[in-house]
Amino acid sequence: MSIACANLFTPNLYKEFIQPDCTEAQEATMAKVVSLVVKIGAVVFILALPHDYAIQLQLLGGIWIIQLLPAILLGLYTR
């Protein structure tokens, strides 16, 4: 997920607003940096939270996916 986040951030925000004239090498370097920052942020988030909160957030994520996925799929295939 960190790679997906970096691949969304780099062309859509970094290249569009921060540095429009960046080369492909600079864009790839920024994607690697963003991916690393997201990974470090996730580790800090997990280590800083109490274990009960982490478990509750994981359960909430599962509940949201179970409730939203059918609505999204039906919305994609119907008018």
DSSP state of 16: I
> CA-CA distance, 62 to 60, in Å (whole number)?
5
pLDDT tens for each residue of 34-75: 999 999 999 998 899 888 888 898 999 999 999 999 999 999
User: Could you tell me which residues come within 8 angstroms of residue 24 by beta carbon, excluding any fewer than 6 positions away?
Assistant: none
> What's the pLDDT band for 78 if we cut at 50, 70, 90?
confident
Neighbours of 11 (CB within 10 A): 13
> What's the pLDDT band for 21 if we cut at 50, 70, 90?
very high
pLDDT given at position 45: 87
Counting every residue, how long is the chain?
79
3-class SS at 79? Answer: coil
Which pair of structure tokens corresponds to residue 75?
């919305």
> What's the pLDDT band for 3 if we cut at 50, 70, 90?
very high
